[in-house]
C-alpha cells in the first residue's frame, strides 16, 4: 500500500474501489469537500500525491486543523520547523497532550508521516508504505 493511499483512507476517510473489469482502482470519496469532489472516481495513480506535492500535503494539514474534539474544541495543532536540510512536522493533540513527529527532507512526506502517526496508523504499516 502506498503512502498516498494510506493518507486518503486513514486521514481523510476515503475508500478505494477495485475494478472488476481490469481498470485501475479509484477513489470513492464520501465527503463533501472540494478535495473529495475533485478526486472522486479518479484512479489512485492520478492523485492526489500527498507525499510529493506540497499543495496536496497542505490539504492534509488543513484537514487535521479542522478536526474537533467532542466538546467542539480543536483536536490538533500542526507545527512546522524548517531546518537547513530537513523539515520537522509536529502534530499535537490538544486534549490528550500526545504529539507525533516526522522529520524528512521533503516537507510533503514529513506532513504525511506525522499525520499518519497522529491518526494511529502503526509504524510498521507506515514504513512498509515508504518502501
- pLDDT band with cut points at 50, 70 and 90 for residue 65: very high
Whether 103 has a pLDDT exceeding 90, the answer reads yes
Q: For residues 120 and 10, give the distance between their C-alpha atoms in angstroms, rounded to a whole number.
A: 9
- pLDDT band with cut points at 50, 70 and 90 for residue 32: confident
The answer for 55, left when phi > 0, alpha when psi is -120 to 50, beta otherwise, is: alpha
Instruction: Indicate the CATH number of 3-130 among 3.30.2120.10, 3.40.50.720, 3.30.70.890, 3.30.43.10.
Output: 3.30.2120.10
Sequence ranges of the domains in the chain: 3-130
Tell me which residue of 107, 106, 122, 130 sits closest to 61, measured CA to CA: 107
* pTM of full prediction above 0.95: no
What does the pLDDT read at residue 70? 85
Amino acid at each position: 500500500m502506498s503512502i498516498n493511499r494510506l493518507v486518503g483512507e486513514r486521514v481523510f476517510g476515503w475508500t478505494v474501489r477495485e475494478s472488476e473489469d481490469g481498470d485501475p482502482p479509484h477513489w470513492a470519496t464520501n465527503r463533501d469537500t472540494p478535495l473529495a469532489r475533485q478526486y472522486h472516481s479518479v484512479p489512485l495513480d492520478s492523485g492526489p500525491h500527498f507525499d510529493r506535492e506540497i499543495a496536496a500535503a497542505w490539504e492534509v494539514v488543513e484537514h487535521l486543523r479542522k478536526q474537533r474534539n467532542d466538546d467542539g474544541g480543536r483536536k490538533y495543532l500542526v507545527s512546522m520547523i524548517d531546518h537547513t536540510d530537513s523539515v520537522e512536522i509536529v502534530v499535537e493533540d490538544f486534549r490528550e497532550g500526545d504529539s507525533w513527529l516526522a522529520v524528512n527532507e521533503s516537507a510533503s512526506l514529513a506532513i504525511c508521516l506525522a499525520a499518519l502517526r497522529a491518526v494511529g496508523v502503526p509504524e510498521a504499516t507506515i514504513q512498509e508504505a515508504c518502501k
